Structure 1
């Protein structure tokens, strides 16, 4: 499976990618650039997106944009709507998580840090299989 990992913390993203690649055997591409996110997803080369909610400095159409905004844009684009998106956040309070998930139209929201990679990889596989 080809996974696009969107995170502004490159070191954390690199560590997460290595674990996903080693434990799950998936290919992981890391970016935090909105243009790259849309280009990669629209090519059909992405099977699943892991999207950090907080992307300080990320801009699209000259406006700052969050990971939740990017997820919603991907889910409303006919070329990318089928791609499962898991939002990742270290900051959303439990009471706000459901609203964030609904507003973003993402498939799932998980809090960071990820502590059980076997459960995490199982979720990735289930979402990907359900999208096919």
Structure 2
């Protein structure tokens, strides 16, 4: 017998708790997704390696995050996850406040991220659609 599809889990890597609250609310309400949150880079890697996240929402400018004792931003952390075969297949969406044209392409290419959204998010429906589309794609 087919069991119910498991609820997908989004890992929110964000150091602004206001954003964490807003993102969590929309992800759970509009997307029906479970949300976990950490800004601890070592923890991010552990969670993704353990298969406990189906998608990562990665803030680009993590001001307090350390990985193995060294300062790391969201782009570097995305590169780490994407360069490790055990975590490379987990979709990552970069979240950035600096939405300059050109910046976007650079960040995406440098990091290997699967998608990109700018803060403040204006259209939450489109944001959730992007998340759901990547979750679906990663299942195929």
| TM-score, length of structure 1 as denominator length | 0.95
State how many pairs are aligned: 132
Larger helix proportion of the pair: 1
Match of residue 28 from structure 2:
21
Mapping of residues 1-132 of structure 1, within 5 Å: 1-132=8-139
Runs of 4+ in structure 1 over 3 Å off:
none
Partner Cα separation in structure 1 for residue 126 and residue 40 of structure 2: 28
Offset of 1:92 from its aligned partner?
4.1
Offset of 1:61 from its aligned partner?
2.5
Write the deviation string for residues 16-74 of structure 1: whole angstroms up to 9, x where unpaired: 10121111110000110001101110111110000000001211122211001001110
Partner Cα separation in structure 2 for residue 23 and residue 130 of structure 1: 19
Partner Cα separation in structure 1 for residue 27 and residue 64 of structure 2: 26
Partner Cα separation in structure 1 for residue 133 and residue 31 of structure 2: 13
Flag the structure with larger Rg: 2
Gaps of 5+ in 1: none
Gaps of 5+ in 2: 1-7
| TM-score, length of structure 2 as denominator length | 0.90
Write the deviation string for residues 62-101 of structure 1: whole angstroms up to 9, x where unpaired: 2211001001110111111000000000024212110110
Offset of 1:108 from its aligned partner?
0.9
